[in-house]
Amino acid sequence: AQSVTQPDIHITVSEGASLELRCNYSYGATPYLFWYVQSPGQGLQLLLKYFSGDTLVQGIKGFEAEFKRSQSSFNLRKPSVHWSDAAEYFCAVGFTSGTYKYIFGTGTRLKVLA
Amino acid sequence: DTAVSQTPKYLVTQMGNDKSIKCEQNLGHDTMYWYKQDSKKFLKIMFSYNNKELIINETVPNRFSPKSPDKAHLNLHINSLELGDSAVYFCASSQVRRGQTRGYTFGSGTRLTVV
């Protein structure tokens, strides 16, 4: 069955450190891939997306993600984290299986230390 | 501002009551959704409407009834509220092309507390 996994429930990094959030999916073909951020008390905001082409995609707020077909992964990265990046991050995949489906991962909570 | 707006932001009510949450989008999207986010932040699709037509209806108690008067609005009515209905409910919209969406725009959520 199709699924999306975010292995890390919580991640803590120091401000200025680099960040990588993991996302793995299970699907027979290449799905559409997305990362969203949810700040406390807010809805989800789309950070970036991958459909095809260049496997390294740039998003808003200095984030980027790399699609690796061989690893079925779409990890989110940021070279230098700011305190305002503390939030919940969700990976999502969209794929067609009869009808179109869209699945969210369980989220990774990022804490940033000053 | 272009956005997905939902009201109310907070809703506290007693068990057994009936309540509604409204959602409106002015992005011109053709598809709207309701998601439920539980206390562990897990997001679960409830309903999806495409041009006022119900296209996704996950396993949700029939106490939950969506209504889409037009493609810019998708309201959620809940009858006989139960404690387990307490959660944050998110409305979202997207444009679907050739069976795929290029990303959702979410509302800021409605925190429902049933006491």
Mean pLDDT of chain B: 91
Chain B nearest C-alpha distance from A14 (Å): 24
Q: Which two tokens stand for residue A24?
A: 């793995």
Q: What is the mean pLDDT of residues A103-111?
A: 94
Report long-range pairs for B50-58 (Cβ below 8 Å, ≥24 apart). Answer: B50/B96, B55/A99, B55/B31, B56/A99
**pLDDT of B2:** 64
Q: Which of B40, B42, B99 sits opposite A96 (nearest CB)?
A: B99
* Mean pLDDT of all residues belonging to chain A: 92
- pLDDT for B57 equals 73
Say what the pLDDT of residue B10 is.
96
Which residues from B are below 8 Å from A51, CB to CB?
102
Q: Is the pLDDT of residue B1 over 70?
A: no
* Record: contact A90-B105, CB cut-off 8 A: no
Residue B109 in this model has a pLDDT that exceeds 90: yes
Q: Is A34 on the interface with B (CB under 8 A)?
A: yes
What tokens were used for A29?
């073909």
With a pLDDT cut of 90, the percent of chain B lying above it is: 70
Of A17-21, B1-5, B72-76, the least confident: B1-5
The verdict on A98 touching B (C-beta cutoff 8 Å) is no
Q: Do B108 and A42 touch (CB under 8 A)?
A: yes
Distance from CA of B111 to the nearest CA of A (A): 9
pLDDT at position B97, please?
A: 79
- The per-residue pLDDT for range A48-101, each reduced to its tens digit, is 999 888 999 999 999 999 999 999 999 999 999 999 999 999 999 987 766 677
**Shortest alpha-carbon distance between residue B24 and chain A (Å):** 14
Please return the burial class of B2, using the count of CB atoms within 10 Å of its CB with bins 0-12, 13-18 and 19+.
exposed
Residues with Cβ < 8 Å from B95, sequence gap 6 or more? B27, B28, B29, B30, B31, B101, B102
Residue B109 and residue A106: Cβ atoms within 8 Å?
Answer: no
CB pairs under 8 A between A and B: 54
